[in-house]
Structure 1
Amino acid sequence: MKRLLIAGLAALALTSSAWADGDAAAGATVFAQCSACHAVGAGAQNNVGPVLNGVVGRPAGTYPSYRYSSAMRKSGLTWDEATLTQYLKGPDKLVPGSKMIFPGIASDTDLANVIAFLKQQKAE
């Protein structure tokens, strides 16, 4: 019985870890809804929203040549996975007064996938 419990816990840990990593290819599909305002990849330019190359690990409100809201510049956030997850669920809840008008991503799977996609977008 003890071995079965340990095996079950190990399987759960592996499953949770795999989910938390997300699927970058599926995240590219989720990112399509972001691409109306944001760009990624070689030669990306600021648009309605800033370029998201290198966003994971970057302090909020710091991408060059983008005019951020005062709320975003003063937020003190750094875009790690946990902060991105919270923000993308409801941007106005985490940073009231930011310029991002987006209802949020409800699906935890979609959130994990789009973050996995963003992690692949390295700063230029």
Structure 2
Amino acid sequence: MRSLLLVVVVLLTACSTSQHDAELNSANTLQDALWQQGQDEFIRCVACHSVEAGSNTEFGPHLHQLLGRKLAGLDDYLYTEAVKQIDLVWTEEVLDAWLAKPQQLVPEMCLPFTGMRSAEARQALIAYLKGQ
């Protein structure tokens, strides 16, 4: 009887571990797909921005490690005075709001960009930037 109970416990543990591994793999696959979609969405930004540290362009600062950075927070980029006056830190929530309606959050910044209506596209882009 004791041996049978031990076999049942071992089998249940193995099933539980396999299910947990499958759930982790599924979550990783979804994260990878979201990141890939975000990389595709970055096409909207690439004319003015890079995701490589120190690679500012004439039109925009690099976006490497953007989350947690203060707006106008790079010493090696020349921001407008209007943008320098805004006290803001790039969080996921702030970035989502800016991506949705950029001119409402930070007037006079990135004027050609009018926003992204799709919440899914914004979340994908944020996942991509977060992964840099």
Which bin holds the TM-score, normalised by the shorter protein? 0.7 to 0.9
Query: Which residue does 1:54 correspond to in 2?
Result: 65
Query: Which residue does 2:48 correspond to in 1?
Result: 37
Deviation, 1:46, is: 2.9
Deviation, 1:96, is: 1.6
Paired residues in the alignment total: 102
Aligned 1:106-117 pairs, distance under 5 A = 106-117=117-128
Q: Separation in 1 of the partners of 2:86 and 2:53?
A: 28
SS at match of 1:79: coil
Query: Which residue does 2:100 correspond to in 1?
Result: 89
**Residue identity (%):** 34
Q: Separation in 1 of the partners of 2:110 and 2:52?
A: 23
- TM-score between both structures, scaled by the size of structure 1: 0.74
Q: Which runs of 5+ in 2 are unaligned?
A: 1-26
Aligned 1:71-82 pairs, distance under 5 A = 71-82=82-93
* AA partner of residue 75 (structure 1): I
CA RMSD of aligned residues (A): 2.0
Structure 1 residues 103, 54: CA separation in 2 closer, same or farther (over 3 Å shift)?
same
Higher helix share: 2
Deviation, 1:91, is: 1.2
Q: Which runs of 4+ in 1 moved over 6 A?
A: none
After superposing the two structures, state which structure 1 stretch, 108-117 or 46-55, moved more: 46-55
Structure 1 residues 68, 98: CA separation in 2 closer, same or farther (over 3 Å shift)?
same
- TM-score between both structures, scaled by the size of structure 2: 0.69
Query: Which residue does 1:6 correspond to in 2?
Result: none
Q: Which runs of 5+ in 1 are unaligned?
A: 1-17
Deviation, 1:99, is: 4.5
Query: Which residue does 1:65 correspond to in 2?
Result: 76
Q: Separation in 1 of the partners of 2:38 and 2:115?
A: 15
